[in-house]
A and B are shown apart, each in its own frame.
Chain A
Amino acid sequence: MNVLIVEDEKSLANEIASFLKSEGFLCELAFTGLDASEKIAVNLYDFVLLDLGLPDYNGLDLIVEARNRGNDTSFIIITARGAVEDKIHGLNLGADDYLAKPFALMELFSRIQAVARRKFNILNHNLKVGDFVIELQSRKITCKGNEVIITKKEYDLIQYLIINRNKVLTRNQLYEHIWGNILDDQYDSNFIDVHIKNVRKKLNEHAPTPWLETVRGIGYRVSLEK
């Protein structure tokens, strides 16, 4: 998939690009609105990561321009402004998702994946992990045909780890994914440990989970052979 990163903060744009490239994306960069506008007009991107605070352009206008040309590129807004009306306005204009800065690169990746599943209509996309099957559409985990009963939050946790498989996720990143930014002050490293402990227990009742690793001093990782 090819992605255009529209971000005036060059070093941030480069970091995002470097991360997405490692995930197999083709990335192009635009540091100004004008540059972005030209690139969107000429090339067909699957995704545009759009910073709203551009020096020369109102980021939202780029969405309007693209839509007026019948361009169905998916826009994911990334912004530090994060005001409520920006978010609503952006989504109303046809943006596919909205991320407030600072965000985790893994969060961005999982959002892109979710938008991609909708965009390419991959409804029955299932992920296989050991003896378990993660049904992304129905948000269920099954093991040899039996459903594993877990809570919504536990499912979110395990899906996030699996989508970002083979990468260590810190407790902070996991917490942020599940509870978002609004509960920032409540962050408690123990939260994630308790939830992982519970998920492990529930999964282990069906089959062993050697793939769900605790990485000492850092966090957790789902290790799968590539």
Chain B
Amino acid sequence: MIKLRMKLALFNLLSKLVFTLLFLLLLPFLIERISLLQVDNELIQEREQVITLISRIGIEPFITSDNGNVFGSYNILKEEFISLERIDLKEDANYIDVSQRLIEGENITYRVLNYSFKVDGNTYLLEVGKSLSSILHTQKNIKKVMLLFLVFIILITFLTDLQYTRQLLRPLDIITNKLKGISNPSIFDKTPVRTTTSDFHHLDDALIELMRHIDQLFQNEKEITVNISHELLTPISVLRSKLENLLIRSDIGSEISTKIEESLKTLHRLQSLVNSLLLIARIESQQYLRDESFSVNEVLHEIISEIIPIAEDAGIIIKEEFENDFHIKSANRSLLFSMFYNILNNAVKNTPSQGEVIVKTTLYENNYTVTITDTGKGMTETQMSTLFSRFKTKVGNNPDGIGIGLAIAKSIADFHGIEILVNSIIMKNTSFSFRFPENS
């Protein structure tokens, strides 16, 4: 992808080059025309001067029978000549042409003005010539200068264009930067961009307004989630206490006890659901603090030692491969605990007996990464694409899970700026990588 600024500058450069090329192609022709016109004008002027001179002092000083009725004069560099000759002409001559003249053994090309006039019944032919070699030389020089000048102009205008468009499009750059990496409309910088271009002003205004609106909608949605959740928790609480009080009574049979326990279990699922939605809503509305500093490896170790009994029971080995430790600053320990616990627990649940789960920590180019890999069933592309959506995935076949654990893990990761990468080979393995931000 090319930046708009570059595109504009390149287009300008290209169009200039095309025009310049056209100009350079036409240039020799133009210069020739112009210089010939110039020469012709000079020739005509000189003719006028000669004619004026003859009419003042007569033809005799030039034409005598001694010189065979021919007068000629040229300057020492043979750039110009004037000749006057008595001649018999059937028609009047008044034209300019190019012809060769032999002067002192040298053949030179001249632009020659031929002009006939009559004095005392005699016809005379006046020829005024100018050498074309000087013209060609001038042409060459002009071409060189022109070329240099054009190259210089193109370079200068290209650079100024680039600078100007950069200046002109700066507000657009600022707007683009504001939009870059926005994960949440609430963190969109709502200070208006300073610009004198009305288009950018409108664009910026519209974006700010849009972001405000989305932010408001998000906020409303979160508030609704929180409020509904609270409203739901009280009746759940009432039902739960009633059922628990029933269950501890000694005068009920085992059949009724079992039914009560089943009801409690169902109620617990409802409670989990509400609590999970509430948890996500709270994380997303930044209600948790990130004010703890601790070693991530220690957290991982704690989780592993909690899960080991379950893993051992299922015949699964958990391997700790800690290459580097990482002291995270400003994080929420219990949320991170929950996130890793979720993933590690899922990994153990999805690994068949004799399988293994590897927890690895690495530090690569300032990026601390935790990778949890299992040798389970793996996932298809479709499964992976909906992995972090609420209620869409039921990883494994745990009937007690409600399919929201990964959505929670994702919101905790987002809250801490941690990037989650998932890799999976079907029937072989699945790995979750957590890449911590550089300055955390």
Contact surface of A with B, Cβ cutoff 8 Å: 9, 11-12, 15-16, 18-19, 22, 53, 80-85, 101-106, 151, 153, 167-168, 170, 172-173, 176, 181-191, 194-195, 197-198, 215-219
Q: How far is the CB of B238 from chain A (nearest CB, A)?
A: 5
Q: Is the CB of B264 within 8 A of A186?
A: no
Complex CA distance for A122 and B197, rounded to whole angstroms: 76
Complex CA distance for A173 and B247, rounded to whole angstroms: 12
Interface presence of B417 (CB below 8 A): no
Complex CA distance for A170 and B247, rounded to whole angstroms: 9
Complex CA distance for A173 and B240, rounded to whole angstroms: 11
Q: Which residues of A contact B279 (CB under 8 A)?
A: 182, 184
Interface presence of B251 (CB below 8 A): no
Complex CA distance for A170 and B278, rounded to whole angstroms: 24
Complex CA distance for A62 and B398, rounded to whole angstroms: 44
Complex CA distance for A167 and B250, rounded to whole angstroms: 9
Shortest 5 CB-CB contacts between residues of A and residues of B: A15-B241, A102-B237, A185-B405, A184-B272, A80-B233
Q: Which residue of A lies closest to B258 (CB)?
A: A217
Return 10 A-B CB contacts under 8 Å, by A number.
A12-B234, A170-B247, A184-B276, A186-B341, A188-B345, A194-B310, A197-B313, A215-B257, A217-B254, A218-B258
Complex CA distance for A168 and B313, rounded to whole angstroms: 24
Contact surface of B with A, Cβ cutoff 8 Å: 230, 233-234, 236-238, 240-242, 244-245, 247-248, 254, 257-258, 261, 264-265, 268, 271-272, 275-276, 278-279, 282, 287-289, 305-306, 309-310, 313, 334-335, 337-338, 341-342, 345, 349, 398, 400-402, 404-405, 408
Q: Which residues of B contact A184 (CB under 8 A)?
A: 271-272, 275-276, 279
Q: How far is the CB of A203 from chain B (nearest CB, A)?
A: 15
Select B257's contact among A105, A198, A218, beta carbons within 8 Å: A218
Q: Is the CB of A18 within 8 A of B247?
A: no
Q: Is the CB of A9 within 8 A of B234?
A: yes
Q: Is the CB of A182 within 8 A of B338?
A: yes
Q: Is the CB of B313 within 8 A of A183?
A: no
Q: Is the CB of A185 within 8 A of B272?
A: yes
Q: Which residues of B contact A183 (CB under 8 A)?
A: 338, 341-342
Q: Which residues of A contact B234 (CB under 8 A)?
A: 9, 12, 80, 101
Q: Is the CB of A15 within 8 A of B341?
A: no
Q: Is the CB of B233 within 8 A of A84?
A: no
Known contacts being A19-B241, A188-B349, is A84 close to B287, with CB within 8 Å? yes
Main secondary structure of the interface of B (DSSP, over half): helix
Q: Which residue of B lies closest to A175 (CB)?
A: B268
Q: Which residue of B lies closest to A154 (CB)?
A: B309
Q: Which residue of B lies closest to A182 (CB)?
A: B338
Q: Is the CB of A82 within 8 A of B278?
A: yes
Q: Which residues of B contact A172 (CB under 8 A)?
A: 264-265, 268
Complex CA distance for A195 and B311, rounded to whole angstroms: 11
Q: Is the CB of A12 within 8 A of B248?
A: no
Q: Which residues of A contact B313 (CB under 8 A)?
A: 190, 194, 197
Q: Which residues of B contact A176 (CB under 8 A)?
A: 268
Q: Is the CB of B310 within 8 A of A190?
A: yes
Q: Which residues of B contact A85 (CB under 8 A)?
A: 287
Q: Is the CB of A153 within 8 A of B306?
A: yes
Known contacts being A80-B230, A101-B233, is A11 close to B334, with CB within 8 Å? no
Q: Which residue of B lies closest to A195 (CB)?
A: B309
Select A198's contact among B237, B282, B309, beta carbons within 8 Å: B309
Q: Which residues of B contact A104 (CB under 8 A)?
A: 240, 244
Q: Which residue of B lies closest to A9 (CB)?
A: B234
Complex CA distance for A185 and B391, rounded to whole angstroms: 11
Q: How far is the CB of B298 from chain A (nearest CB, A)?
A: 15
Q: How far is the CB of B269 from chain A (nearest CB, A)?
A: 8
Considering residues A80, A103, A167, A173, which has the most beta carbons from chain B within 10 angstroms of its beta carbon? A80
Q: Which residues of A contact B238 (CB under 8 A)?
A: 9, 11-12, 15
Q: Which residues of B contact A80 (CB under 8 A)?
A: 230, 233-234, 237
Q: Is the CB of A167 within 8 A of B272?
A: no
Q: Which residues of B contact A82 (CB under 8 A)?
A: 233, 278
Q: Which residues of A contact B342 (CB under 8 A)?
A: 183, 185-186
Known contacts being A19-B245, A170-B264, is A102 close to B287, with CB within 8 Å? no
Q: Which residue of A lies closest to B288 (CB)?
A: A84
Besides the known contacts A183-B342, A188-B310, 20 further A-B residue pairs in the complex with CB atoms under 8 A apart: A12-B241, A15-B238, A80-B234, A84-B282, A84-B287, A84-B289, A102-B271, A105-B241, A151-B305, A167-B248, A170-B265, A172-B264, A183-B341, A185-B401, A185-B408, A186-B341, A186-B345, A186-B401, A188-B401, A190-B310
Q: Is the CB of B261 within 8 A of A217?
A: yes
Considering residues A151, A176, A188, which has the most beta carbons from chain B within 10 angstroms of its beta carbon? A188
Q: How far is the CB of A157 from chain B (nearest CB, A)?
A: 11
Q: Which residue of B lies closest to A103 (CB)?
A: B237
Select A83's contact among B282, B306, B349, beta carbons within 8 Å: B282
Q: Which residues of B contact A153 (CB under 8 A)?
A: 306
Complex CA distance for A18 and B264, rounded to whole angstroms: 18
Q: Which residues of B contact A215 (CB under 8 A)?
A: 257
Q: Which residue of B lies closest to A11 (CB)?
A: B238
Q: Is the CB of B402 within 8 A of A168?
A: no
Q: Which residue of A lies closest to B407 (CB)?
A: A185
Q: Which residue of A lies closest to B310 (CB)?
A: A194
Q: Which residues of A contact B237 (CB under 8 A)?
A: 9, 12, 80, 101-103
